[in-house]
Amino acid sequence: MLPLAAAAEKPRAMFGVVADEVPLQQGGVLVRAVRPDSPALKAGIQPGDVLLSLGGKSVSRRADVHAVLLTLIPGQEVEVELLRQGEHCRFCVVLAERPQRGRAGHASAGEAVGGDRVLRPLVVEPAIRKAMAEHRREVVRQLAALPEGLEPEAVTDHLQAIRHLARDANPQGRGWMLGEAGEVSLQFRDAAGVLVLHGANNRLALLVYDEAGVLIQKLPLNTAEERASVSQPVMERLQQLR
């Protein structure tokens, strides 16, 4: 048996996704976010994907992802199976080494620990927090103004501003999600489930999940016709966002 100190220093594998805690009815684990500069991001994994298996082992809970990663090593190439908008996809991912904790089990501000979480920085500047909140409020205001009042280019500008501020401050649990370069998503949770606003290259889409985390609608919001086709129940949910 290895001494405890040696075991603690053993390199551990990092994948780089944030998996949702809500179980999915169809099985698998919802990818809520993808870490910047992570193996998952480099392989093309995206927020909204449903992870079905990792390294040949099925996953149906966030804990399953943890368990599989413990059996793998940095540098190992593994196959990832997932669902993307209802279609099966396979990716090959070369796992990275999980960043080590600092001394005495503490991590420095903003340090990524493990493959599925980022610690909250010790201090978030009030000016950054205020700026993020202002951009978020403007996005919410525009969503509540559907169908006529939403301007896709303005909304994506606000989303990108949130992304840049989030990368600097790296606060946890504010609903922002990082994807491929130039992409950002903003998540809103309510009693009916989760709404995810996804923007990239001045293109917007609203992903609608039910209470079980099942994707039930993907609604583009880029033209007047697309915005007018959003159902009244979804419109009412958008108007209640805070």
Radius of gyration of the chain from its Cα atoms, rounded to whole angstroms: 19
Phi, psi of 175 (to 5 degrees): 90, 0
Provide the pLDDT for residue 93. Answer: 93
Quick one: pLDDT band at residue 183, thresholds 50, 70, 90? low
Q: What is the pLDDT of residues 108-147, one digit of tens each?
A: 333 222 333 333 333 457 787 788 888 888 989 999 888 8
Q: Determine the pLDDT at residue 159.
A: 81
pLDDT in tens, 84-115: 877 889 999 999 988 764 433 333 333 222 33
Quote the percentage of the chain above a pLDDT of 90: 17
Question: Which of residues 195 and 115 earns the better pLDDT score?
Answer: 195
Query: What residues does each domain of the chain span?
Result: 11-100+112-118, 126-239
Domain 11-100+112-118, CATH class in plain words: mainly beta
Total number of residues shown for the chain = 242
CA triplet 32, 35, 41: central angle to 5 degrees? Answer: 95
Helix (H) or strand (E) holding 53: strand 50-54
Question: Measured between alpha carbons, how far is 149 from 128 in angstroms, rounded to an integer?
Answer: 27
| Distance in angstroms (rounded) separating the CA atoms of residues 144 and 159 | 16
| Range with lowest mean pLDDT among 1-10, 67-76, 166-175, 191-200 | 1-10
Predicted pLDDT at 64: 87
Count, in order, helices (H) and strands (E) of the chain. Answer: 7, 15
- 25-29, 41-45, 129-133, 135-139: least confident range: 25-29
The HSE-up count of residue 212 (CA atoms within 13 Å, CB side) is 9
Residue pair 88/28 in contact (Cβ under 8 Å)? The answer is no
Binned at pLDDT 50, 70 and 90, residue 178 comes out as: very low
Task: Tell me if 96 sits within 8 A of 11, measured CB to CB.
Answer: no
| Distances in whole angstroms, Cα of residue 183 to Cα of each of 7, 36, 156, 169, 172 | 38, 11, 9, 18, 18
Task: Band the pLDDT of 194: cuts 50, 70, 90.
Answer: confident
Q: Among candidates 185, 180, 229, which has minimal Cα distance to 207?
A: 185
Nearest to 47 by CA among 35, 62, 64, 63: 35
